[in-house]
């Protein structure tokens, strides 16, 4: 419709692409935009599912932390519905998630190297 919404990843991607095209540079094709969206979706769901599975494994092995986490949830939210504002008060849950991420990072370190001199924007990469 020609209107760009700037409050999400797709809107930011389309805005950036539109600026490049208006400046006379080569922008992304619609297929490339779609592929970028797929990449973010798949990478996001894969890493999130890995975090959840490893957290459940760790909590099942260390049930004392499972009890502490359950007590903290009950203390912050009670028996009512969970709400976004309460998440910042979950200190033990945050500690558990950070420890799981430290022990089992969702992505291995990727080392990239160029095989030939490459121009990336205004930069030359040897």
pTM value is 0.60
Distance of CA 124 to the CA centre of its chain: 29
Q: What is the pLDDT of residue 109?
A: 65
Q: Which residues of 77-111 are buried (b: 16+ CB within 10 A; e: fewer)?
A: eeeeeeeeeeeeebebbeebbeebeeeeeeeeeee
Please report how the helices 30-61 and 9-22 are oriented relative to each other, as an axis angle in degrees rounded to 10. Answer: 150
Nearest residue to 71 via CA among 93, 56, 51, 54 = 93
pLDDT tens column, 11-61: 777 777 777 778 877 777 778 888 888 888 887 788 888 899 999 999 999
């Amino acid at each position: 419709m020609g209107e760009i919404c700037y409050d999400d990843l797709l809107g930011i991607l389309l805005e950036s692409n539109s600026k490049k095209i208006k400046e006379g540079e080569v922008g992304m094709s619609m297929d490339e935009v779609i592929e970028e969206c797929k990449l973010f979706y798949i990478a996001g769901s894969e890493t999130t599912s890995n975090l959840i599975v490893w957290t459940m494994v760790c909590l099942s092995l260390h049930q004392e932390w499972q009890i502490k986490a359950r007590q903290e949830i009950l203390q912050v939210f009670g028996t009512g519905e969970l709400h976004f504002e309460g998440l910042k008060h979950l200190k033990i849950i945050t500690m558990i998630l950070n420890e799981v991420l430290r022990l089992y990072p969702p992505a291995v370190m990727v080392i990239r190297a160029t095989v030939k001199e490459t121009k990336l924007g205004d930069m030359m990469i040897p």
